[in-house]
Amino acid sequence: MKNMIIASTSTVHGSGYLAYILDELASLYKDTEEILFIPYARPGGITHDEYTAIAAKAFKTIGKTVRGVHEFDNPNEAVTNAKGIFTGGGNTFLLVSQLYKTQVIVSLREAIFNGIPYLGTSAGSNICGLTMQTTNDMPIIYPPSFKTLGTIPFNINPHYLDPVEGDTHMGETRETRIKEFHKFNTLPVVGIREGSWIRVVGDSITLAGLHSARIFEHDKTPYELASGKELVF
């Protein structure tokens, strides 16, 4: 039975890394003391070790230890044997490229469907959808495929931003870009605002956190889904 938290971000304004969601994580990982961290997205080009240290510092506050998947000779075995997994944010193109290169994408999907507790933030949330095509990231590297884990029946747009009334910015809004996606694709897209997350328990998928989510379905008017409501397509 799937047991997941798919979060928009690791850090909300004014708080430390994962601080806003630590109570949820203590519950998610209640049956394990060690979490396997996948640092492949490495934001800003930091090293895997540096990124793992950031995650380890946050999880130490709830009594958990962290090991990076890059520390293992066989990353697939590490994922298969993990009792809890966290994939951090950064660049989704880089993350997906590394998941395919190491073939971890297969073992990670199997682990999630086998019920291993999973946290994804930002890029780590993007990969939970059917494809990575609704990421906000620059294509700094070319992955073998845009197909991702498919653990939920829709795509994610993390860090979703609403248009600012009176702003003179002339570029595309998030909503415009997602509508462009729907000119060529029919997958639903869920825009998750900062401070919100999706809770997956088995086949139940529920929005949680501070804000509503923006829902985009092909050939339909976008609408809001309140926190606490189920996501059903």
Question: CA 228 to CA 231: how far, in whole Å?
Answer: 10
Residue 233 covered by a domain: no
Helices (H), 121-228: 123-126, 174-181
**Looking at the DSSP assignment, which residues form a beta bridge with residue 198?**
6, 207
Question: CA 141 to CA 164: how far, in whole Å?
Answer: 31
Q: Which residue has the higher pLDDT, 131 or 233?
A: 131
Hey, which bits of 39-132 come out as E strands? Answer: 65-68, 85-87, 118-121
Provide the pLDDT confidence category of residue 162 given band limits of 50, 70 and 90: confident
Q: Which residue range is the domain that position 123 belongs to?
A: 3-225
**Model pTM score:** 0.96
Residue 89 covered by a domain: yes
Average pLDDT score, the chain:
96
What total of structural domains would you count in the chain? 1
Six-digit token string for 209: 């956190």
For strands 189-191 and 155-157, give the pairing. Answer: parallel
Write down the pLDDT at residue 170: 57
Residue 175's domain is classified under what CATH number?
3.40.50.880
Residue 217 covered by a domain: yes
Active site residue ranges: 122, 137, 159
pLDDT per residue over 108-120, tens digit each?
Answer: 999 999 999 999 9
Six-digit token string for 107: 């073992």
Residue 85 covered by a domain: yes
Six-digit token string for 115: 């019920």
Residue 231 covered by a domain: no
Residue 57 covered by a domain: yes
pLDDT per residue over 24-33, tens digit each?
Answer: 999 999 999 9
Write down the pLDDT at residue 169: 65
Write down the pLDDT at residue 56: 98
